[in-house]
């Protein structure tokens, strides 16, 4: 798993699809459906938000810790756009990769449980909401991160493809 962890280091571009089943109301209560790969990510119901941006994994105090930072532009189904950003800490210890929210004190987001060297899963509970993640390591220069989010007011799928910049 060390090779997988080390492959994160560097700069990446990413494309993210956030697929919504329907908008229940305008008070941020949404329901979403699964990602349709057979439709080239196009959706006739106009319910997909898209984020494009850049990300980096920068080494911290030791060679087994990276700070993940991303910045991008979110385009909603109604064509409104917003700047977005996110930060996490990735740590490697005892052949395990653990992801934390980048805040003080650090708070666990999820631990990657590897099915094999190209597939890992994580799980995070936030109140009544669950965030299940799948990491698909396509190559040292490409990986996909898929979140399925489910809760009383949430039900959506986020698919992000990362391509390493040279």
pLDDT in tens, 105-143: 999 999 999 999 899 999 999 999 999 999 999 999 999
Positions of E strands within 60-153 = 65-75, 81-93, 96-101, 107-116, 119-126, 129-139, 142-151
- What sign does the dihedral 28-31-35-38 (CA atoms) show? negative
Determine contact, residues 122/99, Cβ cutoff 8 Å.
yes
Q: How confident is the model at residue 161 (pLDDT cuts 50, 70, 90)?
A: very high
Please report the pLDDT score of residue 33 as a whole number: 35
Please report the pLDDT score of residue 41 as a whole number: 41
User: What is the secondary structure of 4-69 as a DSSP string?
Assistant: HHHHT-EEEEEEEEEE-SEE--SSS-EE-----GGGTT--TT--EEEEEEEEEEEE-SSTTEEEEE
Please state the domain extents for the chain.
2-164
pLDDT in tens, 146-157: 999 999 888 899
Please report the pLDDT score of residue 46 as a whole number: 66
Phi and psi at residue 6, to the nearest 5°? -65, -30
Beta bridge mates, 120: 114, 135
Please report the pLDDT score of residue 60 as a whole number: 96
Please report the pLDDT score of residue 1 as a whole number: 86
pLDDT in tens, 70-89: 999 999 999 999 999 999 99
pLDDT in tens, 22-73: 534 434 433 333 333 333 344 445 689 999 999 999 999 999 999 999 999 9
Q: How would CATH label the architecture of 2-164? A: Beta Barrel (2.40)
Please report the pLDDT score of residue 21 as a whole number: 63
């Amino acid at each position: 798993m060390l090779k997988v962890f080390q492959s994160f280091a560097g700069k990446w571009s990413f494309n993210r699809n956030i697929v919504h089943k329907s908008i229940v109301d305008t008070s941020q209560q949404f329901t979403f459906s699964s990602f349709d790969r057979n439709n080239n990510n196009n959706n006739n119901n106009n319910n997909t938000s898209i984020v494009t941006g850049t990300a980096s994994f920068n080494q911290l105090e030791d060679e087994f810790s990276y700070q993940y930072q991303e910045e991008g532009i979110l385009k909603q189904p109604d064509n409104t756009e917003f700047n977005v950003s996110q930060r996490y800490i990735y740590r490697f210890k005892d052949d395990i990769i653990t992801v934390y929210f980048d805040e003080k004190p650090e708070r666990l987001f999820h631990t990657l449980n590897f099915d094999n060297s190209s597939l890992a899963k994580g799980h995070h509970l936030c109140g009544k909401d669950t965030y299940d993640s799948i990491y698909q390591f396509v190559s040292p220069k490409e990986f996909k991160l898929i979140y399925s989010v489910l809760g009383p007011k949430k039900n959506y799928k986020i698919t992000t493809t990362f391509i390493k910049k040279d």
